[in-house]
Amino acid sequence: MPDLTPDEFRALGHLFVDAVADARAGIERHPVRDVVEPGTVRARFPREANEDPEPLAAFPSLVEAVTGDADTRWQHPGFHAFFPANASLTSLLGELLSGGAGAQGMLWSTSPACTEVEQAVTDQVARALGLDETFTHDGGGGGSIQDSASSAALVALTAALHRAAPDPDSGWRVRGVTGRERVYVTAETHSSLAKAVRVAGLGADGLRTVPCTPGSRAMDPAALADTLAADVAAGLVPVLVCATVGTTSTGSSDPVAALVTAARPYRAWVHVDAAWAGVAALCPEHRWVLDGVNPGPGPGVDSFCTDAHKWLLTAFDASLLWVRDPRALPAALSITPAYLRDAHSDTGAVVDFRDWQVPLGRRFRALKLWAVLHGQGLSGLRSHLRGHVDLAAELAERVRGHDDLELACAPVLSLVCLRSRSGDAATTALLERANADGRVLLTGTEVDGHPLVRVAFGGVTTGREHLEVVWDVLSARS
């Protein structure tokens, strides 16, 4: 069967867009998360795929019948779990153009548009955030769009491993790891760093968990300096220090500048994971998230990551990774068989993003981010971010005045962590009761062995009326 003709695609496209629009318009008629048993959706599939073609006009209805009552609705305005995964309708328009182009952007030559739009857009976002010009392609650094902050961390680690070798030409790329390499994190660092260490072959022994400053959830610079010195004295090789800005559990941040100072004597790569919080730098009043990131007066960090697909209205996947020395990425990752040789690449005058990631193939991710920048403007994005910060501040104020609830820590941007004054069991029951209501979805965490309830504002359509729903659920008596 041949593919759809452009006219057939046009007609069906209206039906499919209507299905998406109808689902978004009616999303609040459904709970945030359906109560469903494992295997429910799979049981609705026949064992074998259909032999003959079926009408595509019926496909949206089929999807609704199979999955419509068995899902978690991440785009529901009552979704306050984890961190948001903004899939704005604006970004979906860009995603449609990207899919329609069908580009494979592994090399500049395989899609100059894919490559250069990504360069231009990441430079624009870097400047909008306030990153130093040395993070831009124009300024000798560069940004790329990874699938996730997890992949960004792995890419940074591979570059760091290559740089840490005494002789790069005969070091990590040739021999692999030696068992002496070490990566430095805290107990609050995202689990993706531990996975990156495992994938890179360092093993659990390669991960150093540095204590936090007493009374905080931020890495202790003095403890890092002591750990680095002791490791070097023992013949170990510091490779990478990961500083987090906006941890998943509570939104805490590491003192980036002080960590850079501790790491620099050992040539350890400093990577900043600001997956959630980093985009807040679009707002000048929240540019503290970049403290220590840029050079001057300190040396600045080697790489910085934040996710457009969390809080910046861009559909997953779109994690932004900037590096100040882009040569480190192909030095670690480039492999060029004859079938990938290209005259433009050989000159060094173009960027081949295949060398900035683990996979070879690349999607045209930049179009959806460009669509968001074009359709929202920086002013619209700032308004989006500020609105959620205001909601968190108001929720925190209400919690302070409640006779049973209390803040577990100060609110950070759009994240509020709270608990019951009645103890751990009551806090756990509060979370269960809130999620059973159906109008909201929250997640919990643990700090110092005690459970907390997290409320993370950030949905595309989450507004003040949804704060009222959250408060109604949280303040209700059991």
Q: Is the pLDDT assigned to residue 300 strictly greater than 70?
A: yes
pLDDT (tens digit per residue) in 217-261 = 999 999 999 999 999 999 999 999 999 999 999 999 999 999 999
pLDDT of residue 84: 95
Q: What is the mean pLDDT of residues 337-352?
A: 92
pLDDT of residue 170: 66
Q: Which domains does the chain have, with CATH numbers?
A: 103-363 (3.40.640.10), 370-475 (3.90.1150.10)
pLDDT of residue 371: 99
For residues 395 and 471, the answer to whether their CB atoms sit within 8 Å is: yes
For residues 273 and 288, the answer to whether their CB atoms sit within 8 Å is: no
pLDDT of residue 72: 97
pLDDT (tens digit per residue) in 359-388 = 999 999 999 999 999 999 999 999 999 999
pLDDT of residue 2: 83
pLDDT (tens digit per residue) in 131-157 = 999 999 999 999 999 999 999 999 999
Region for 267 from its dihedrals, namely left if φ exceeds 0, alpha if ψ lies in -120 to 50, beta otherwise: left
Q: What is the mean pLDDT of residues 447-454?
A: 95
Please state, in angstroms and rounded to a whole number, the distance separating the CA atoms of residues 390 and 312: 16
Q: Is the pLDDT assigned to residue 92 strictly greater than 80?
A: yes
Q: Is the pLDDT assigned to residue 168 strictly greater than 70?
A: no
pLDDT (tens digit per residue) in 390-423 = 999 999 999 999 999 999 999 999 999 999 999 9
Q: Is the pLDDT assigned to residue 172 strictly greater than 80?
A: yes
Opening angle at CA 434, ends 39 and 192, nearest 5: 60
Place of tokens 């970049």: 290
Burial status of residue 58 (CB atoms within 10 A of its CB: 0-12, 13-18, 19 or more): exposed
Please provide the distance, in angstroms rounded to a whole number, between the alpha carbons at the two ends of the chain: 59
Joined tokens for residue 394: 């108001």
Longest dimension (CA), the chain: 70
For residues 304 and 269, the answer to whether their CB atoms sit within 8 Å is: no
Q: Is the pLDDT assigned to residue 176 strictly greater than 90?
A: no
pLDDT (tens digit per residue) in 12-27 = 999 999 999 999 999 9
Please state, in angstroms and rounded to a whole number, the distance separating the CA atoms of residues 323 and 131: 11
Confidence of residue 314 (pLDDT cuts 50, 70, 90): very high
pLDDT of residue 1: 61
Q: What is the mean pLDDT of residues 200-213?
A: 96
pLDDT of residue 62: 96
Q: Please, what is the average pLDDT of the chain? A: 96
| Residue 173: count of CB within 10 angstroms of its CB | 17
Residues in the chain: 478
